Structure 1
Amino acid sequence: MPDAVPPLSFNPAGIELDRRHGLSRQLYQALRGRVLDGRLASGTRLPASRDLAAALSISRNSVVRAYDQLYAEGFIEGRVGDGTYVAKLSPLAMPSGKLSTKPSTGFSTGLPTALSTVQLDSPVFSSSKVIHSNALERVEKHHLAQPPSGPPRAFRVGVPAFDLFPFDVWAKLNAAFWRKPDLQQLCYGDAQGDARLRGLVAAYLRSSRGLHCSAEQIVITSGAQQAISLCAQLLVDPGDIVAVENPGYRAAGHAFAVAGGDVRGVPVDSDGLDCAALAALDHCRLAYVTPSHQYPTGVVMSLARRLELLAWAGRNDGWIVEDDYDGEYRYSGAPLAPLAALDRGGRVLYVGTFGKVAFPALRLGYLVLPPGLVDAFARRRAVDVRHSEVSTQAVMAEFMAAGHFQRHIRRMRRAALARRDALLAGWPEAVAGVGAMPTVVAGLHVTVPVQGIERERELIAQATCVGVEINGLSSYWLPATAPSQICAGMVLGFAAVPPAAIGTALASLAKAWGIR
């Protein structure tokens, strides 16, 4: 019997850390880069945190934090009693067997931009003159109910703890802007958005997400929904097949349908979007995903699946629209690196929003685009709104520059964690037809499984009678989904109201559902 092959060894030589900056983040980036470019092969055994700390002359805590982030993102794995190893990633999931870590500076030679053939200067770009009759039928099928209005209550989905927003600080900054405004700022602005705000957003994404981007790649939008709509308008011709998660964010599917897209649902499993099902869609070159916290199931897309999705885009000259709608909210470790941080082929369009860390009515979001798409997106947006409202951008830029934004994010994350814990602690158990409350590691909502759509509707109706707001999971599937494929559940947002109000709502639910 042959001897077992010993694991590959890891040599920390070549890892240079700048002690003036965050050591754990630098180490995480260095190790992640070595995994992606093949210098750290699958199965390589990493040194114990204490040993690596000694080799690099840094604290063990810095190594532990770097390892924790790599664990969370799936780059490394622990083997009980046997140490830490580089995770096994299929070479087939990577372009050419590996992924370059050099930041993208644009499109490679010959890479088609594949923008919609509808003319940008057409005044009826999104009108019924452009959308043919079949597309209009799809629009009707994708009709959406309006989001709930009024003051937030338990358990409204998609609403952050905006009762904690520092409105006094915002008011002072807003007053300062209007007290002595720069007259140049009161003229027509840049269609891409305020240059200072774009620079600060780029800096924030570099530090918090590991996303190497510049201000020139960013287009400010009126919320995430406008960003998604721009992607639909510019990347979809009538009849084009567009893949969306199923179940998923229905408003995204609606935007692609309005643009004339043939919207197809792709199943979601425990690793995220099913890339095998995606690959089976002939002539599909656009996929919309929420990888950091799938909406509404809450699944976090695995690293292997992320690489497989990027490889799909590369093979098909396709685009990926990545909606990182609540990526700030991760309850252990730093936020996960987005798909866009792994993309080296200029295939990912990254959608971000301020609405989930400030308040929904702010209507301020952004797109991070491959360089070759920026001009087209800016010109398309100028057709609709010319540019974003000036003072909101200027005030947000000052809010970020003065450090209020980062402090507020930390406060919001702590508040969301406390509100999540209140929901988990008080959730009524042994409700007939209701599955176990899942673990909640990220985001602002959780989905609890229910046995059957009829039971889902009954539970939600009973909750509505006592003033508790719950969404049904069955409503998140595309209209064309076969009934046998639709799963039932209850989607609960836990961030909208304080823990005390959550406790009151849970008591009402227990009474309505007959739980003592």
Structure 2
Amino acid sequence: MLTQIFMTQAINPCFQIIRINKEKESPPAYYQLSKKIENLISEGFLKSGDELPSSRVLSAMLNLSRTTVTQAYKRLLEEGWIFSEKGRGCFVSECAIDLDLHKSSIATLSNNIKKPKLPVKTEIAKQALQFPVQKEVPFALIAPDMESLPGKDWTTIVGRVSKSPWMHNAYAEPGGYRPFKKVIADLLRRSRGINCSGSQVIITSGVQEDLYLALQALFSEGAKIAVEDPGFRPHRDLVEFLGHRPIPIPANENGICINQLSSDKELDAVIVTPSFQYPTGQLMSLERKLELIDWANSCGKWILEDGYDTELFTADEPNPAIASLDKTGSTIYMGSFTKTIYPGFNMGYIVVPEQLIPIIEGIKMLTLRHSSEVHSVILTEFIEGGFYEAHIRRLKRMYQKRRETSVQCIQSLLSQFGALEANTGGTHLTFIFKPELKINDVELNLYLRQNYHIESRPLSPCYVKEKPQSGLILGYAHFSEQILTDSYRQLRDGITNFLNRAY
């Protein structure tokens, strides 16, 4: 039978030297076969125009399936080594020799080829991955449990809007859905005292996009941007990624230190989290806010205010936004619905002075184009119906109980290791270790994640120039009181075992 097959086509004897390794760890048979045929062409055994055996003949000769031969021929066709003619078969391509010479010349000259260089900022982008998305386990900062999510009114609105997505399936305006912009302006006026129009509100995906848009609109490369020390590392990294210089300024229990700001005459702006300073949880005092506004107005600088955890502030003292106190338009306010709805909904906003509206919207058009109009419609109805503010009141009551549980657990279970930094609300607590314990919080955090499934964050990486304190940032808001109680016991055991292991 095999002889009859061969008699139907003249076979170049070189094909008889092909051997395919069929061991388990070997490359796929079709790939091996295609490379063997490439070598036959490269070494001159096959010339331009030579006919290849049919798939039926070659499969019988090499004891392979016809599918394997067909796949090998397909690869050779795609790479230009062979060509096919309908009804005749496959032949060595005229350009196959040139292709081989080209590959050989590249291999010979590879040492002289200069690869394009990547800019330094790519390293900053890679470093951002060191601030990982946390898993939904204690003590993650953004992992809402089912009880924390909006209720039936929310699901009703989502269901109704989702049934008619074609109503909002075109490109949206870069500034956002106009009714939503007006609703946010009204909400900020009621809750934060910020007097702005709907046109001043630009809809975004969150505070990081807010900061990106503001920095792109306000500065050329090389601007000096003051950041809190300790502070939110993604803010600092984004400033540097965009070609600016983040300048760390100490922040104490009253907020960022104004005398340090005033000492650097070349600063162009400052980024602050005054309502719930990240990571310490401190509230910027009213006096410090007014001093910051005076500094900005007297020097012609910008204030970029991140309203981090503002909606969930529960302390008794007043907490006006800097943007509500600044009547000169030097403050840009940034906010999101990440903590109050849920991170996956991915909606935020930035409030800008009138003269920046076309600039910010233009940058949005050139880069991110627009935000989700369907999500905007859902939130518009949720806020207009009074459901959002009722939801916030419910979250505050719920989170206050969880915070009280956390404080009690920390005092009873962890006091031998350290103490809390502040307790003004928000969604996390900052626990600082006693210096004499000499705990490496980065190593401890990794140990807790690997051995106790605890997703805290280490405190020390939040510092730049200031002497770093060792501690843990503990998210509590999205876990039930029972889960928190059990988790703090695990945390105590984890720290104890880590210290014993170290010694």
Q: Same fold (TM over 0.5)?
A: yes
What amino acid maps onto 1:426 in structure 2? C
C-alpha distance in 1, partners of 2:299/2:339? 33
1:237 alignment partner, one of 220, 235, 238 = 220
- Check if 1:156 corresponds to 2:140: yes
The equivalent position to 2:308 in structure 1, one of 309, 317, 325, is: 325
Deviates further, 320-329 or 445-454: 445-454
- Cα deviation code 1:223-244 (max 9, x no counterpart): 1111111112222321111110
Give the aligned partner of residue 463 of structure 1. Answer: 448
Distance 1:161 1:375 in 2: 39
Answering whether residue 478 of structure 2 is matched by residue 496 of structure 1, we say yes
Which structure would you say has the larger RCO, counting Cα contacts within 8 Å and 6 or more residues apart?
A: 1
Structure 1 partner of 2:159: 175
Structure 2: gaps (5+ residues): 1-115, 498-503
Q: 1:336 to 1:159 in 2, by over 3 A?
A: farther
Shift of the 140–379 alpha-carbon distance from structure 1 to 2, 3 Å rule, reads: closer
Higher alpha-carbon Rg: 2
1:470 is aligned with what amino acid? S
State which of 229, 235, 255 in structure 2 corresponds to 1:246.
229
Superposed displacement of residue 154, structure 1: 1.4
Q: Secondary structure at the match of 2:431?
A: strand
The question of whether the paired residues in 2 share the 8 Å contact of 1:144 and 1:251 is answered with no
Q: Relative to 1, partners in 2 of residues 1:334 and 1:400: Cα closer, same or farther, differing over 3 Å?
A: farther
Q: Normalising by structure 1, what TM-score?
A: 0.68
Q: 1:141 to 1:222 in 2, by over 3 A?
A: closer
Paired residue for 1:422, among 389, 397, 405? Answer: 405
The 3-state SS of whatever aligns with 1:320 is: strand
- Deviation of 1:402 after TM superposition, in Å, equals 1.3
Tell me the residue number matched to 2:460.
474
How far is the alpha carbon of 1:299 from its aligned partner? 1.1
SS in 2 for 1:436: strand
In the alignment, the residues of structure 1 paired with residue 415 and residue 409 of structure 2 have an alpha-carbon distance, to the nearest angstrom, of: 17
Cα shift at 1:137: 7.9
Residues 182-201 of structure 1 correspond to what in structure 2 (within 5 A)?
183=167, 185-201=168-184
CA RMSD, 1 decimal: 2.6
- Provide the rounded CA distance (Å) in 1 between the counterparts of 2:209 and 2:314: 28
Asked if 1:454 corresponds to 2:439, the answer is: yes
Contact 1:174 1:391 in 2 (8 A): no
**Structure 2 counterpart of 1:153, which letter?**
V
Confirm or deny: 8 A CA contact 2:276 2:313 kept in the other structure.
Answer: no
| Structure with more of its chain in helix, by fraction | 2
1:396 aligned to which of 348, 373, 379 = 379
Letter in 2 for 1:174: V
TM-score with structure 2 length normalisation?
A: 0.70
How much does 1:182 deviate? 7.0
Contact 1:328 / 1:335 at 8 angstroms: preserved in 2? no
1:139 aligns with 2:124: yes
The answer for the alignment partner of 2:469 in structure 1 is: 487
Preserved contact between residue 422 and residue 499 of structure 1 (Cα < 8 Å): yes
Q: 1:289 corresponds to which residue?
A: 272
Match of 2:32 in 1: none
**Residue type of the alignment partner of 1:510:** R
CA shift at 1:434, angstroms? Answer: 2.9
The number of residue pairs the alignment matches comes to: 379
Partner residue in 2 for 1:279:
262
How far is the alpha carbon of 1:142 from its aligned partner?
5.8
The answer for unaligned runs of 5 or more in structure 1 is 1-128
State which drifts further: 466-475 or 414-423. 466-475
Structure 1 residue 220 and structure 2 residue 203: aligned? yes
TM superposition shift of 1:201: 0.7
- Cα distance in 2, alignment partners of residues 511 and 231 from structure 1: 45
Distance 1:340-1:138 versus aligned 2 partners, 3 A rule: farther
> How far did residue 157 of structure 1 move?
2.2
1:346 matched to 2:332? The reply is: no
Q: Distance in 2 between matches of 1:251 and 1:364?
A: 18
Give the direction of change, closer, same or farther, for the CA distance of 1:280–1:167 in structure 2 (3 Å limit): same
